[in-house]
Chain A
């Protein structure tokens, strides 16, 4: 083969090899690390898978936060004012975690319908609401099942 062609071919092969590696690694890793979002209504309907890590979010129900006195265990309910789900978490909650605020939790569903979180994210400032949560609240409201007191969430 002509040396220049040969060289171009090697370059093309290098680039292709690099791309193939990247694509292969990406798809392999993506398959295991996608965390889908489910709102409390979906979870109550049993749509959330049991064995995979998912994200769940909504508003922290007023008066639902219960602490274990001797450890960092905490339990609270997350609601979209339509359904709610019990969340369990062991660890330090973010500074901006309070009742009546939007949160997103990462973790797994348990067969008994409780959500065991390994990470809890709260908003960064007062005007901010996790987009998933605001979407799911809008959805719940659109379904017409919204309780009358939920207007204050906005």
Chain B
């Protein structure tokens, strides 16, 4: 009974979404307020019914209703309740339901928090979001219905959730990632609305900015969580494999980062407008592309579930329609650029432009590396794969360039920066950074050119950010007063940039100075890894809720003293009869020690992987900083105050923002 209610709720949500896509847009084009007034109630209605459907599916999981095919395929009565709940998005159908739930949630949030926007703008934004919702609801209802029943042959028990997914990571990684993916639909909707009514101005950029920043913050967390999960669960200690599925999440992040900075320029200086709109379209298209690649079964990975060709075709169609329509609209409506604001070759505008060029270049690079094998395969020109070296070789220089540019950009001024002044300004911070980066090399025992430049870029971002904060906080009333005077969006920027530096340093050090050893060990054997000694003590067995496990006990010694004991496991899941490796990790801020057991080689001997990973935690710590920076920036009061003062001054053109203000 309940599952049918869920399906009914989805159909109702689809009908409301169709209305949302059409009615307010018609109202805004014909200038009828009554039609525009439908936008907010319809947005709420869509959310309520999708949430209802989601609740029904979650309920089916929690009460083990195996008459629902999706539940039967992805759950089992032995599964702990929290995995039953997160198994809702553990498969194809449910994860799409989560996608539209997030989409309708973002739509509702736009409806609620944009009360001060002009009504035609908000109607158009909500209508565009309605269109996206229609596409995805159709996709779910036509090809991936989570409420399909297995009647009358109800299985006695479910086929269980893939053991890889029975993990804390599944509970939080997909929701965070989808919040980011779907959040860019708001930036997209604002861009399309601006194209429709031709209001591509600073005000538009200001409205769009906080939404983009929030989506970016969520996506940063989502990508980092994916990397962390892969590190301890899937990857035997690797944290990024340049797997197409990982790239699918990195692509919108890269272009979203470019978008955030380009929006800042558009808001502050009124330039790069069409570029910003294009980036918004591209970013959302990349989110859709990511969904397509991951969900259509063209890729083989833990994320690719059932590969039903109609699904791939439908998603590709949806992607095609979105790209073609929005680019056509862009071609017709992109404004004839009247750049009245002037800036010179060394202005902050140009630094941010360069930042965009580099980020877009990185996006193109990852996109080519990801799609090239897929396209060749599709054209039947052979099967090939593009390995990690390609990405490492091409992505690293761009990342280093972004870091070096970022530090210099922080000191630059809007409109014009005097070259000599900037050179003198950069001299000491740069000298300090070179010394610090060299010190890091010495501390980790060996100079390597790539590592040096990576560390230099990271340290340089830190030093420049700190230096700038020091400069800005000087005040006659004292340092504390000066620090307090800075806006939250400025501190948001500082945090996010520090986050970039932290992640960069983590990536550089972990990949250049990590040690990895695969060994054959018997109980009693000792292995040396860096300064540590790892002793294989013995093996044991234990019984989990839905698995049996063999575990090894490893004592870790530093200078003859035991610092920790690790229990890596080999789990055998009873329902799917799969074997899974659970690594034993001694996590620390400065280094991780990682022990995983492989197969049994003989009665006594096991294959063991021991790893020493310096600064690996910094990879994800940096993402936390970035996300925190994003959230801090949007809590800035200027968004609220500006919106109010803007309403008062609607008739008069908005004065250009003061040049002294900083990007954030």
Contacts and interface: CB of A to CB of B under 8 A. Distances in A.
Interface of A: 3-4, 7, 10-11, 14-15, 17-19, 21-22, 25-26, 29-30, 32-37, 53, 55, 67, 69-72, 90-93, 95-97, 106, 124-126, 128, 130-132, 135
A7 B345 CA distance: 8
A96 B579 contact: yes
Contacts of B384: 34-37, 55
Interface string B338-357: 01001101000010011001
A30 B44 CA distance: 49
A14 B357 contact: yes
Given A95-B578, A124-B301, 16 more contacts: A18-B357, A19-B361, A22-B365, A22-B398, A32-B390, A33-B389, A35-B386, A35-B387, A67-B601, A69-B601, A72-B601, A93-B599, A95-B579, A126-B576, A130-B300, A132-B383
A10 B383 contact: no
A115 B576 CA distance: 32
Contacts of A91: 518, 607
B631 to A, nearest CB: 30
A114 B383 CA distance: 21
Given A7-B339, A14-B353, A37-B384, A93 B598 contact: yes
B578 A25 contact: no
Interface of B: 162, 164, 236, 300-302, 339, 342-343, 345, 350, 353-354, 357-358, 360-362, 364-365, 368-369, 372, 382-387, 389-390, 393-394, 397-398, 518-520, 570, 576-581, 596, 598-599, 601-602, 607, 609
Contacts of A97: 599
Contact of B607 (A3, A25, A53, A92): A92
Shortest beta-carbon contacts, A-B, top 10: A92-B598, A18-B357, A33-B390, A22-B361, A37-B383, A25-B394, A95-B579, A29-B390, A18-B361, A29-B393
B347 to A, nearest CB: 10
Nearest to A27: B368
A29 B398 CA distance: 14
Contact of B361 (A21, A37, A70, A132): A21
Nearest to A11: B353
B360 A18 contact: yes
B453 to A, nearest CB: 15
A7 B350 CA distance: 10
Contact of A25 (B389, B397, B520, B598): B397
B580 A95 contact: yes
Contacts of A26: 364-365, 368-369, 394
Contact of B394 (A19, A29, A132): A29
Given A55-B385, A93-B599, A96-B578, A70 B357 contact: no
21 contacts: A18-B360, A22-B394, A26-B368, A26-B369, A29-B390, A30-B390, A33-B390, A34-B384, A35-B385, A55-B384, A67-B601, A69-B602, A92-B518, A92-B609, A93-B599, A95-B578, A97-B599, A124-B301, A126-B576, A132-B383, A135-B383
A37 B382 contact: yes
Contacts of A21: 361
Contact of A95 (B519, B581, B601): B581
Given A18-B358, A19-B361, A33 B386 contact: yes
Contacts of A3: 342
A125 B578 contact: yes
Given A26-B369, A93-B598, A53 B520 contact: no
Contacts of A72: 518-520, 601, 607
Contact of A128 (B300, B368, B390): B300
B599 A4 contact: no
B387 A53 contact: yes
Contacts of A131: 300, 383
A130 B382 CA distance: 15
A109 to B, nearest CB: 16
A36 B382 contact: yes
Contacts of B519: 72
B224 to A, nearest CB: 22
B520 A70 contact: yes
Contacts of A95: 570, 578-581
